[in-house]
């Protein structure tokens, strides 16, 4: 993975996301953007979970990508942005593409939301050329066990309440697959990937900041509904965007206590 991103490039990546998204979402997307920006992504790209197109727009990969998403509303938003070369509404377990069609596939914070993920991995493998690479990012097992709310409740001796809090938080977030890297590695190998590398990112303090930010971000939801923007006053000096606090996350993104994991899986030749 190429780490030669300049401070200016990292500043721009951080600002793209923190100025347009609630900070608790923007901080994570900025880190993920910086990971993909360190890679050589060979076109054409198969993008699993295109969503509303904002991430691909910021990353600059859309014009080289086929975007796949099962939901109509996000596809409609992405189409309005004009980001993707082509958009298709389809399930990840039934990709409307031929065998060995893409040298590269990406999926950002999507696979954790798919209940039966193994057929999706098999389909992505089928769609990749021999020696093709699949890059993806997912939250890991620490989102289940190390949430701030769980920590507080455990310290109060309320272990049952801590478990219920974890279940509720992840149900609201629609998280089905919060697994250790070893679990994902086994899934990928069953799907036909021979080489799997992974790196943890997004430290524990950042995950807990993101967790608490869901409540702090309620005004952003109101602004989005009223004005069509998540952030009304984008400024690096705006204390609510927390730019100075969050920008250093991009300098050294990988960490042992990372609560998310980035994977690079190469298809078996």
Residue 23: CATH number of its domain: 3.40.50.150
Distance CA 22, CA 96 (A): 34
Averaged pLDDT of the chain:
93
Q: Do residues 214 and 227 share a domain?
A: yes
Is 76 contained in some domain?
Answer: yes
Q: What is the pLDDT of residues 36-72, one digit of tens each?
A: 999 999 999 999 999 999 999 999 998 899 999 999 9
pLDDT at 1: 65
Looking at 150, 175, 200, the residue that finishes a domain is 175
Q: Do residues 168 and 184 share a domain?
A: no
Residue 172: its H or E element: helix 159-172
Is 225 contained in some domain?
Answer: yes
Number of domains composing the chain = 2
Distance CA 37, CA 191 (A): 26
Q: What is the pLDDT of residues 9-23, one digit of tens each?
A: 999 999 999 998 888
Residue 231 has pLDDT above 90, yes or no: no
Is 258 contained in some domain?
Answer: yes
Distance CA 269, CA 193 (A): 9
Cβ atoms < 10 Å from Cβ of 153:
19
pLDDT at 75: 92
Q: Do residues 51 and 151 share a domain?
A: no
* pTM of the predicted structure, to 2 decimals: 0.93
Is 220 contained in some domain?
Answer: yes
Q: Which 8-state DSSP code applies to residue 19?
A: T
Q: Do residues 72 and 149 share a domain?
A: no
Q: Do residues 239 and 203 share a domain?
A: yes
Contacts with 81 (C-beta within 8 Å, 6 or more apart), sequence order: 52, 53, 54, 57
**What sign does the CA torsion over 91, 68, 118, 122 have?**
positive
What does the buried/exposed string (b/e) look like for 15-52 if buried means 16 or more CB atoms within 10 Å of the residue's CB?
bbbbbbbbbbbbbbbbbbbbbbbeeebeeebbbbbbbb
Q: Do residues 64 and 111 share a domain?
A: yes
Is 255 contained in some domain?
Answer: yes
Distance CA 22, CA 113 (A): 20
Q: Do residues 159 and 217 share a domain?
A: no
Distance CA 183, CA 204 (A): 20
Q: Do residues 216 and 181 share a domain?
A: yes
Q: What is the pLDDT of residues 117-134, one digit of tens each?
A: 999 999 999 999 999 999
CB-count exposure of residue 227 (10 Å: 0-12, 13-18, 19+): exposed
Residue 204 has pLDDT above 90, yes or no: yes
Q: Do residues 150 and 95 share a domain?
A: no
Residue 3 has pLDDT above 80, yes or no: no
Instruction: Pull the structure tokens for residue 267.
Output: 């298809």
Q: Do residues 202 and 107 share a domain?
A: yes
Q: Do residues 222 and 186 share a domain?
A: yes
Is 164 contained in some domain?
Answer: yes
* Pairwise pLDDT comparison (56 vs 240), residue with the higher score: 56
Q: What angle do CA 6, 9, 13 make, to 5 degrees?
A: 140
Q: Do residues 207 and 90 share a domain?
A: yes
Distance CA 144, CA 148 (A): 11
Looking at 128, 151, 175, the residue that finishes a domain is 175
| pLDDT above 90: percentage of residues in the chain | 81
Domain range for residue 219? 7-140+176-267
What is the mean pLDDT of the segment spanning 218-247? 81
Instruction: Pull the structure tokens for residue 102.
Output: 């893409």
Residue showing tokens 């098999």 = 122
Looking at 132, 159, 175, the residue that finishes a domain is 175
What's the pLDDT band for 239 if we cut at 50, 70, 90? Answer: confident
Is 197 contained in some domain?
Answer: yes
Is 1 contained in some domain?
Answer: no
């Amino acid at each position: 993975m190429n780490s030669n991103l300049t401070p200016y490039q990292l500043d721009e990546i951080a600002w793209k996301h923190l100025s347009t998204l609630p900070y608790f979402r923007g901080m994570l997307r900025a880190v993920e953007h910086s990971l993909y920006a360190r890679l050589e992504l060979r076109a054409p790209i198969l993008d699993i979970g295109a969503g509303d197109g904002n991430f691909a727009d910021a990353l600059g990969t859309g014009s080289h990508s086929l975007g796949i998403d099962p939901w109509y509303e996000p596809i409609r938003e992405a189409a309005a942005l004009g980001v993707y070369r082509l958009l298709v509404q389809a399930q990840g377990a039934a990709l409307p593409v031929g065998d060995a069609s893409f040298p590269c596939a990406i999926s950002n914070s999507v696979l954790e939301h798919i209940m039966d993920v193994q057929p999706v991995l098999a389909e992505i493998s089928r769609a990749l050329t021999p020696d093709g690479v699949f890059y993806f990012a997912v939250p890991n097992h620490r989102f289940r066990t190390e949430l701030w709310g769980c920590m507080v409740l455990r310290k109060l001796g309320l272990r049952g309440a801590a478990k219920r809090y974890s279940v509720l938080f992840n149900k609201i977030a629609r998280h089905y697959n919060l697994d250790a890297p070893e679990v994902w590695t086994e899934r990928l190998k069953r799907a036909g990937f021979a080489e799997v590398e992974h790196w943890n990112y997004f430290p524990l303090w950042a995950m807990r900041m993101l967790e608490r930010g869901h409540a702090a971000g309620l005004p952003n939801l109101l602004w989005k509904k009223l004005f069509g923007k998540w952030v009304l006053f984008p400024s690096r000096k705006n204390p609510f965007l927390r730019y100075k606090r969050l920008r250093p996350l991009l300098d050294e993104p990988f960490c042992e206590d990372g609560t998310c994991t980035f994977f690079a899986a190469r298809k078996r030749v």
